[in-house]
Structure 1
Amino acid sequence: MTTSLKRDRYTPYINFTRKEWAETSGDAMLQLQDYDLEALHGMNEPLTQEEITQVYLPLAHLLNLYVTASQQLHTATSSFLSSQAHKVPYIIGIAGSVAVGKSTTARVLQKLLQAWPNHPRVDLVTTDGFLYPNKVLEANNIMNRKGFPESYDIKRLIHFLADVKSGKERVAAPLYSHLEYDILQGQLQWIEQPDIVIVEGVNVLQVRHRQQQKDPAVFVSDFFDFSIYVDAAEKDIRKWYIARFESLRRTAFQSPESFFHRYAHLSDTATIELATQIWDDINKPNLEQNIAPTRYRASLILEKGHHHFVQSIQLRKT
């Protein structure tokens, strides 16, 4: 570890190899049983007990320390002010490309963090619910830019986070259906003063460079206490996206209720060609123009190798 710290003396991050990072877990002995793995990982995203032990357990341990420190600071401040104000949730943001494995990271961290007794209530919110409904996207002729910054109701997302951070007792988040590829009208996820809220989405670290003067200069990440960027080489993410699209064609797309049911009977070759076109026309430009540039705004970067497992970690110095 001394070598790494010395090597990274003049960078904003401390760099860890996977082996070095695994050694930081200290006395954190939490474990997930094998039967939990199937429910936690996403389609075509491998997850092993070793990955949890070597990567996510040390990260959960670090986050536990940060949350504990935040709780202690709240107690000290309340004592100073002679106030009994309720502790507001600790918010963790998780960003990264489509198909890079953000959702798996979020679910694993949720499961691990809620095992600590001082913060057992951990809610997970995805920003997919804050996409504009398809009818709005179609009316504005941006249906083919779904996932780009302009396809999100950012004001609604910011108001949601502001309510959570202000300690509001019940806050509603809209829900999204990947099967229907649209917002679920009238269905809401209620957040009721949890200890931690994990907010996962491609856009959570983005800032708006061209704001109208009347807009407040407030960004989603302003509400985060800690942020994570899940990273990988573009060629690997592209491969994972195509593999996931192939798997969905054989499973979810077969449902008549699926927005993509029209692709259910494509041949293997046609499926790969279509997935490649969608990646090249939509997901790659969004990654390069809007998502990847936010990488170094994160508190911590998980760098994945071609095998989909984390190979190195960068932690911002404090």
Structure 2
Amino acid sequence: MPDGKLKPSIEQRFTLFGREEWRGLRADTPLTLSQEDLVRLRGADEMISLEEVADIYLPLSRLLNLHVSATIELYRSTFRFLGTAQAKVPYIIGLAGSVSVGKSTSARILRSLLARWPGHPNVSLISTDGFLHPNRVLAERGLMERKGFPESYDVRTLLSFLADVKAGKRRAKAPVYSHITYDIVPTEFQEIDQPDILIVEGLNVLQVNTAPGLDDVIFASDFFDYSIYVDAETEMIREWYVARFLSFRQTAFRNPGAYFQRYANLSDQEARETALSIWTRINERNLIENIRTARFRADLILRKGENHRVESVALRKL
């Protein structure tokens, strides 16, 4: 069976929706994004249309809004039962998927849509790239060719950050990662200050790996109220990765101080061969060994086809 297909045992746990059927679940949810908004949100190599937003992301935002409202009411009931003052508990959404599958664009679109729903205008978004170990540490440990694999992350710091956010701590700090320098920015942090919703986007956010030496076995997903996986065939993701690599020769690779500046002047053939080598050695291995193995832990799976168009949705059964 080709990779990415839902096996019968998985179908028992998920309800599968075709695109047309899923679109009908939008109901009367208004489209609150403009074309100008979408241009700012989508990746440079992703031509996602407003139709895609209306058909896929509006029904998803409606579902998430219902979950957020129900969870908030549950918190209120719990605080009433305990007789304590109500604390603000952010709703956390985890969003996972391969390099180049378009998870960052999905996260940005969802953030914008959810922020337009009444009752939770403060929606924050972080990437777990900021929790990668610095290149210096990765080099010392011989992990530069394993960047993005579970062992390349500072899991202890990520778990501490998520615990602070879930506890309602003010101005929780997340490290910042630069895709230009391909490294952590030592003096920069993103402050997350008691949002209504926090979206946590990353390769391995559904992985069941933890930091060595922790007394308790806890995972990033333990802090999530809802989780989403963006899926596609391996061959398709590979072509998206190569296309993005080729386009970066004219953009990101030409930035002063860019880690990949040496690739800026490659010919099309050289660039394609280089991209395929990186994909095969690192990204495909990580996808097959780690990322995709955790996809069925998600509450919802977006299954993409050509041109990043979502063809089907798998929703975990209650």
TM-score (norm 2): 0.95
Give yes or no for contact 1:56–1:109 (8 Å, CA) kept in 2: yes
1:279 is matched with 279
Structure 2: give runs of 5+ residues left out of the alignment: 1-7
Residues 74, 87 of structure 1: 8 Å contact kept: no
Contact 1:18–1:310 (8 Å) recurs in 2: yes
CA contact (8 A) 2:100 2:237 kept: yes
Equivalent residues of 2:96, 2:203 under 8 A apart: yes
Matched, 1:312 2:296: no
Distance 2:214 2:252 in 1: 43
Structure 2 counterparts to residues 292-303 of structure 1, below 5 A: 292-303=292-303
Partner of 1:252: 252
Query: What is the 5 A alignment of 1:153-164?
Result: 153-164=154-165
2:108 matched to 1:104? no
Q: Identity rate of aligned residues, in percent?
A: 53
Q: What residue number does 1:168 align with?
A: 169
4+ aligned runs moved over 3 Å, structure 1 = 7-10, 211-215
- CA distance in 2: counterparts of 1:63 and 1:316, whole angstroms: 13
The SS at the match of 2:249 is helix
| Amino acid aligned to 2:285 | P
Deviation at 1:216, TM superposition (A): 2.2
Unaligned 5+ residue runs, structure 1? 1-6
Q: 1:212 to 1:170 in 2, by over 3 A?
A: closer
CA contact (8 A) 2:91 2:225 kept: yes
Does the aligned pair in 2 maintain the 1:8–1:14 contact within 8 Å? no
Aligned partner letter, 2:52: E
State how far apart, in whole Å, the 2-side matches of 1:222 and 1:134 are: 28
Cα distance in 2 for partners of 1:85, 1:37 equals 37
- Amino acid in structure 2 at the alignment position of 1:238: R
Greater shift, 71-80 or 288-297, is seen at: 71-80
Pairing 1:17–2:18 present:
yes
1:90-130 Cα shifts (integer Å, max 9, x gaps): 00000000000000000000000000121110000000000
Partner of 1:37: 38
Residue 307 of structure 1 deviates from its aligned partner by: 2.3
The 5 A counterparts of 1:72-221 are 72-208=73-209, 215-221=215-221
Does the Cα contact within 8 Å between 2:16 and 2:312 map onto a contact in 1?
yes
The whole-number CA distance in structure 1 between the counterparts of 2:195 and 2:10 is 37
Query: For 2:28 and 2:294, how far apart are their aligned partners in 1?
Result: 33
Question: Is the Cα–Cα contact under 8 Å of residues 32 and 116 in structure 2 kept in the other structure?
Answer: no
Q: Letter of the aligned partner of 2:103 in structure 1?
A: K
Report SS of the residue matched to 1:113.
helix
- Distance in structure 2 (CA, Å) of the matches to 1:288 and 1:137: 22
User: 8 Å contact 2:97–2:103 — kept in the other structure?
Assistant: yes
Q: CA deviation at 1:256?
A: 2.7
**1:262-285 CA distance string (max 9 Å, x none):** 111111110000000000110000
Q: 1:312 to 1:138 in 2, by over 3 A?
A: same
State the shift of 1:8 in Å: 10
- Match of 2:164, SS state, is helix
How far apart, CA to CA, are the structure 2 residues paired with 1:41 and 1:246?
Answer: 18
Q: What is the alpha-carbon distance in structure 2 between the residues aligned to residue 27 and residue 84 of structure 1?
A: 36
SS at match of 1:250: coil
Contact 2:94 2:199 in 1 (8 A): yes
* C-alpha contact 2:46 2:307 (8 A) present in aligned 1: no
Amino acid at match of 1:54: D
Equivalences, count: 311
SS in 1 for 2:301: strand
C-alpha deviation, 1:250, in angstroms:
1.6
CA distance in 1, matches of 2:39, 2:261: 25
- Cα distance between partner residues in 1 of 2:305 and 2:11: 25
Equivalent position SS for 1:307? helix
1:241 correspondence with 2:269: no
Q: How much does 1:84 deviate? A: 1.6
Alpha-carbon separation, structure 1, partners of 2:215 and 2:273: 41
Aligned with 2:218: secondary structure?
Answer: coil
Partners of 1:28 and 1:57 within 8 A in 2: yes
- Post-superposition shift, 1:213? 6.6
Counterpart-to-counterpart distance in 1, 2:151 and 2:125: 23
Asked if residue 60 in structure 1 is aligned to residue 61 in structure 2, the reply is: yes
| Alignment partner, residue 4 of structure 2 | none
**Per-residue deviation at 1:208?**
2.4
Q: CA 1:79–1:215 in 2, change beyond 3 Å: closer, same or farther? A: closer
Is the alpha carbon distance of 1:169 and 1:235 closer, same or farther for their aligned partners in structure 2, counting shifts above 3 Å?
same
Shift of 1:43: 2.2
CA distance in 2, matches of 1:212, 1:301: 30
